[in-house]
């Protein structure tokens, strides 16, 4: 048995820290917890938990089978939970007709797009998958899980900072 226990979180088991202000506004730190955000989200909502100019990190509650998405650039999915999330990938026959190639961020597609099966990746906790440009992807999760998406702000990105972030100082 390991002498040390590595502490991870889960969508139904997390403990948050916080900003202990000395001479500052806690809002400046845009502090939230990705598990808490996913736990309070509807399935497949992609809520921004980090934003740096146009780039975002989205926290997504994976539960059930998602719609198909596509994107004009690479994205990455990181499963933060110890519950399996499968990523299915299609090579689109005509990506330009579905997503403007100058656009940014993930786009939800209507129905099942035409394309060739590329394969799938089963993600458990800590596993990251490439969501490659020119493909369509969807997620399948039998139990709720928290997934982070590294991407650019797009039509699927939800911003609700005031709801998710710490706004008053934490007690020391």
Partner 1 sequence: MPDSLPLQSEFKVNPADNQTGYKSFQAGSFQFSRDEYFAHISWPGGQHTIPADSFMRSLMRDVAWGFFYGTVNFDPVFGTTNYYGEVDMFAGATNEAYKAVGRDYTERFKAEDLMQIFKEMVSDWTNEGYDPFAAPMETGQAWGVKNGDNDEAVTRQRVTAKRMVGLPGDTPLRSDESGYPVNRMFADVDQGEPEVHVEPGFENEVSGYNLFAYLSRSDVTWNPSVCSVVQESLFCPTSEEFTLPVEHGNDRCEWFCQLSDEIIWDIKDGNTGRNRAKVLMRAGDIACMPADIRHQGFSNKRSMLLVWENGSPKIPELIREGKAPNVAVKF
Which 13-52 residues touch partner 1, going by CB under 8 A? 14-24, 26-36, 49-52
The minimum distance between CB 134 and partner 1, in angstroms, equals 8
Does 65 bind partner 1 (CB under 8 A)? Our answer is no
Distance CA 160, CA 42 (A): 13
Which tokens hold the place of 65? Answer: 């089978």
Distance CA 22, CA 133 (A): 45
Closer residue to partner 1, CB minimum distance, 34 or 110: 34
Among 92, 109, 141, 152, binds partner 1 (CB under 8 A): 152
x/- mask, partner 1, residues 69-98, rule CB under 8 A, reads ----xxxx-x-x------x-x-x-------
What 3-state DSSP class applies to 109?
A: coil
Closer residue to partner 1, CB minimum distance, 110 or 119: 119
Cα→Cα distances 140→86, 152, 157, 166, Å: 5, 22, 20, 31
* Residues in CB range of 121: below 8 A, 6 or more apart: 86, 87, 89, 127, 129
Task: Restricting to residues 110-149, name those near partner 1 by CB under 8 A.
Answer: 116-130, 132, 135, 146, 148
Closer residue to partner 1, CB minimum distance, 28 or 110: 28
Which residue in this structure is represented by tokens 């990251």? Answer: 128
């Amino acid at each position: 048995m390991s002498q040390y226990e590595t502490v991870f979180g889960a969508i139904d088991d997390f403990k948050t820290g916080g900003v202990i202000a000395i001479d500052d506004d806690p809002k400046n730190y845009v502090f939230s917890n990705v598990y808490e955000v996913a736990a309070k989200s509807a399935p497949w909502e992609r809520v921004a938990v980090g934003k740096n100019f146009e780039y975002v990190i989205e926290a997504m509650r994976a539960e059930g089978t998602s719609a198909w998405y596509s994107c004009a650039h690479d994205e990455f999915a990181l499963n933060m939970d110890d519950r399996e999330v499968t990523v299915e990938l299609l090579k689109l026959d005509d990506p330009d007709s579905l997503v403007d190639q100058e656009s940014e961020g993930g786009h939800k597609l209507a129905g099942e797009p035409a394309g060739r099966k590329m394969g799938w990746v089963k993600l458990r906790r800590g596993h990251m998958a490439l969501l490659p440009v020119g493909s369509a992807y969807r997620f399948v999760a039998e139990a709720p899980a928290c997934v982070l998406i590294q991407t650019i702000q797009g039509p699927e990105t939800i911003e609700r900072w005031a709801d998710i972030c710490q706004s008053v100082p934490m007690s020391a």
